[in-house]
């Protein structure tokens, strides 16, 4: 692998330097100089808290609501629509990523962070005051538009305020925060709902959001490129028509019901047609929402694809491993949460170690290259050794795999930010966030489809029961006789053998992308 101290000769930076329309745009020297921060502990205290807390709020809110859904459905009724509360936030969050990336490049990322925090806090208050499930869903869309901005702008602010060689360390910290908040969400959601009611899971965002506002005030500001003030409204509409139907289609697939297949296929077809029109629109407009010029650079599109594969693998593990532990190993809910801790801790530790190594060596792609290779091998071995490992051994095996999977996201962000350049920094960060979200939705839907297909071929009754487990939780097995439970455990265990191999395919594709990444050193 050819490594160079700066950038590989075959990376074409002119695509970004010329902007989305092909016309020359300002280079870094033409815009406000990068803010110089002290290279000491004061830099960490100045930069990290205003970036960490918004990221924590946005990520935790994706998971904190899931635990409270039964209480929400009990209070507001219409339990069949309870999933809308989660899906609406995910759709709005995904759509918001490129919007905030584009607006942050134009008006300044610090200013847009205030906007995102304001929308997020307002959405949280409205959610807590919702009298029915329909209005709660609408207000979750508002909250999601704020949360998507918090996630995208947090990543971009690191690229704006931290020198390139130091970004890996901070991206590692941020990845650790994101994983920790994923683990914190369900625990906090359960406690707050039980102690103070489901409204508290939204109201807790108000004091935390105001604290984040105070932290952001401490950050040095930087002007955006005010010459790019035209907004691509048709592109945004087509992007919404792509993201919304595709995520809804993938959500239908996860329901494990053949009756939903026509609706899912129809939504998917509509989304793909919208994607084609969106790509056509972005090539024609003078101010694209997502500049096609970015994807002419192999380092960017390969990094985004790697983020999608990583999201597919990691979110699939976090989603389906608890179901496996409950349905096959018979662990209690508290034990399941305990056995998941090594997985989530491994991701955070791996991310922080990788960030430190990137900052010290300047090397980037080498870490996910070998990390994803090791993770793929580990998942394949686990798929065959599942019946022979105790539950504790399985948990620590996933901890080791997670350490290697923690080598990805920090490197992806650093690579995309380095290749996007200062003028498209926010847009580049948004493509990573969008890619990971879509990859996560696609991965979980694919693994769910694989599990359902294997079980349907083996035993249709078990397949139907597994669909109930997906929707209502593993407690659905409690009504079965011990003999039938043993059979179901065995059949589901065999299906998970194939599921883990499917997840290994995601990491395997990510391995290839990491090996072929052109930019391998900062």
pLDDT (tens digit per residue) in 123-165: 999 999 988 888 898 899 999 999 888 888 888 888 777 777 7
CA–CA distance, 315 with 317 (Å, rounded to integer): 5
- Cα atoms in the Cβ-side hemisphere of radius 13 Å centred on 382: 27
pLDDT at 289 over 50: yes
In this prediction, residue 201 carries a pLDDT of 87
Q: What values do phi and psi take at 50, rounded to 5?
A: -70, -15
**Two structure tokens written together for 295:** 């994807």
Q: How confident is the model at residue 265 (pLDDT cuts 50, 70, 90)?
A: confident
Q: How confident is the model at residue 42 (pLDDT cuts 50, 70, 90)?
A: low
Name the more confident of 263 and 183: 263
Listed residue (328, 299, 348) closest to 492, CA to CA: 328
In this prediction, residue 30 carries a pLDDT of 39
Of 59-63, 233-237, 450-454, the poorest mean pLDDT is in 59-63
CA–CA distance, 153 with 147 (Å, rounded to integer): 10
In this prediction, residue 32 carries a pLDDT of 39
**Two structure tokens written together for 246:** 């595709």
Query: Any idea which residue has 């995208």 for tokens?
Result: 152
pLDDT (tens digit per residue) in 473-491: 566 777 777 788 778 778 8
Of 177-186, 209-218, 444-453, 511-520, the poorest mean pLDDT is in 177-186
CA–CA distance, 146 with 433 (Å, rounded to integer): 14
Percent of residues, the chain, with pLDDT higher than 70 = 82
pLDDT at 13 over 60: no
- 92 CB-near residues (< 8 Å, 6+ apart): 140, 141, 142, 143, 144, 145, 147, 148
On whether the CB atoms of residues 418 and 164 are closer than 8 A, the answer is yes
Listed residue (376, 408, 339) closest to 183, CA to CA: 339
On whether the CB atoms of residues 202 and 80 are closer than 8 A, the answer is no
Name the more confident of 305 and 260: 305
CA–CA distance, 293 with 300 (Å, rounded to integer): 10
Q: How confident is the model at residue 17 (pLDDT cuts 50, 70, 90)?
A: very low
Of 2-11, 96-105, 314-323, 396-405, the poorest mean pLDDT is in 2-11
Task: Count CB-CB contacts under 10 A for residue 449.
Answer: 16
In this prediction, residue 257 carries a pLDDT of 64
In this prediction, residue 409 carries a pLDDT of 85
On whether the CB atoms of residues 286 and 497 are closer than 8 A, the answer is no
Of 60-64, 410-414, 435-439, the poorest mean pLDDT is in 60-64
pLDDT at 381 over 50: yes
428: helix, strand or coil: helix
pLDDT at 119 over 90: yes
Q: Which long-range contacts (CB under 8 A, 24 or more apart) does 334-340 make?
A: 337/186, 337/187, 339/391, 339/392, 339/394, 339/395, 340/183, 340/395
CA–CA distance, 334 with 437 (Å, rounded to integer): 28
Query: Any idea which residue has 């170690």 for tokens?
Result: 353
How far from 227 is each of 79, 155, 231, CA to CA, in Å? 49, 23, 11
In this prediction, residue 512 carries a pLDDT of 95
How confident is the prediction for the chain on average, in pLDDT?
80
CA–CA distance, 31 with 36 (Å, rounded to integer): 15
Distance of CA 321 to the CA centre of its chain: 18
CA–CA distance, 406 with 347 (Å, rounded to integer): 5
pLDDT (tens digit per residue) in 212-261: 888 888 777 676 665 666 778 888 899 889 888 888 887 777 665 667 77
Provide the β-strand partners of residue 363: 521
pLDDT at 53 over 70: yes
How far from 378 is each of 75, 321, 375, CA to CA, in Å? 44, 15, 5
């Amino acid at each position: 692998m050819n490594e160079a101290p700066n950038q590989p000769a075959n990376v074409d930076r002119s695509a970004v330097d010329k902007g989305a329309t092909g016309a020359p745009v300002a280079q870094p020297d033409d815009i406000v100089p990068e803010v110089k921060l002290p290279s000491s502990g004061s830099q960490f205290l100045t930069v990290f808290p205003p970036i960490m807390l918004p990221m924590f709020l946005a990520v935790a809110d994706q998971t904190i609501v899931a635990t409270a859904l039964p209480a929400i459905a009990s209070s507001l009724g219409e339990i069949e629509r309870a999933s809308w509360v989660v899906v609406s936030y995910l759709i709005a969050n995904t759509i918001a990523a490129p919007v905030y990336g584009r607006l942050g490049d134009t008006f300044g990322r610090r200013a847009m962070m205030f906007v995102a925090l304001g929308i997020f806090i307002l959405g949280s208050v409205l959610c807590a005051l919702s009298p029915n499930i329909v209005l709660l869903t609408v207000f979750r869309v508002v909250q999601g538009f704020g949360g998507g901005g918090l996630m995208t702008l947090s990543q971009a602010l690191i690229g704006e305020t931290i020198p390139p060689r130091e970004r890996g360390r901070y991206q590692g910290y941020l990845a650790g925060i994101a994983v920790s908040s994923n683990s914190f969400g369900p625990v906090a959601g359960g406690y707050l709902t039980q102690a103070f009611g489901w409204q508290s899971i939204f109201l807790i965002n108000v004091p935390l959001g105001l604290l984040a506002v105070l932290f952001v005030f401490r950050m040095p500001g930087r002007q955006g490129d005010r010459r790019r003030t035209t907004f691509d409204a048709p592109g945004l509409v087509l992007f919404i028509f792509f993201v919304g139907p595709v995520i809804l289609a993938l959500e239908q697939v996860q329901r494990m019901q053949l009756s939903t297949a026509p609706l899912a296929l129809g939504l998917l077809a509509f989304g793909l047609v919208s994607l084609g029109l969106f790509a056509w629109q972005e090539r024609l407009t003078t101010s694209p929402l997502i500049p096609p010029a970015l994807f002419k650079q192999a380092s960017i599109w390969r990094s985004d694809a790697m983020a999608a594969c990583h999201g597919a693998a990691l979110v699939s593990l976090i989603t389906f491993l608890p179901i496996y532990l409950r349905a096959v190993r018979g662990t209690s809910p508290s034990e399941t949460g305990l056995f998941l801790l090594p997985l989530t801790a491994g991701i955070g530790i791996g991310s922080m170690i990788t960030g430190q190594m990137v900052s010290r060596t300047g090397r980037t792609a080498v870490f996910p290259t070998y990390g994803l290779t090791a993770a793929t091998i580990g998942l394949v071995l686990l798929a065959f050794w599942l019946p022979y490992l105790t539950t504790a051994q399985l948990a620590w095996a996933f901890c080791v795999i997670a350490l290697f999977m923690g080598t990805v996201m920090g490197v992806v962000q650093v690579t995309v930010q380095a290749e996007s350049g200062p003028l498209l920094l926010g847009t580049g960060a948004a493509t990573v966030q969008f890619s990971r979200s879509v990859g996560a939705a696609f991965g979980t839907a694919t693994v769910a489809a694989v599990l359902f297909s294997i079980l349907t071929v083996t035993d249709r009754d078990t397949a139907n029961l597994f669909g109930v487990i997906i929707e209502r939780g593993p407690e659905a097995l409690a009504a079965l006789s011990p003999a039938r439970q043993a059979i179901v455990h065995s059949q589901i265990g065999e299906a998970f053998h194939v599921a883990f191999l499917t997840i290994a395919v995601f990491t395997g594709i990510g391995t290839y992308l990491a090996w072929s990444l052109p930019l391998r050193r900062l």
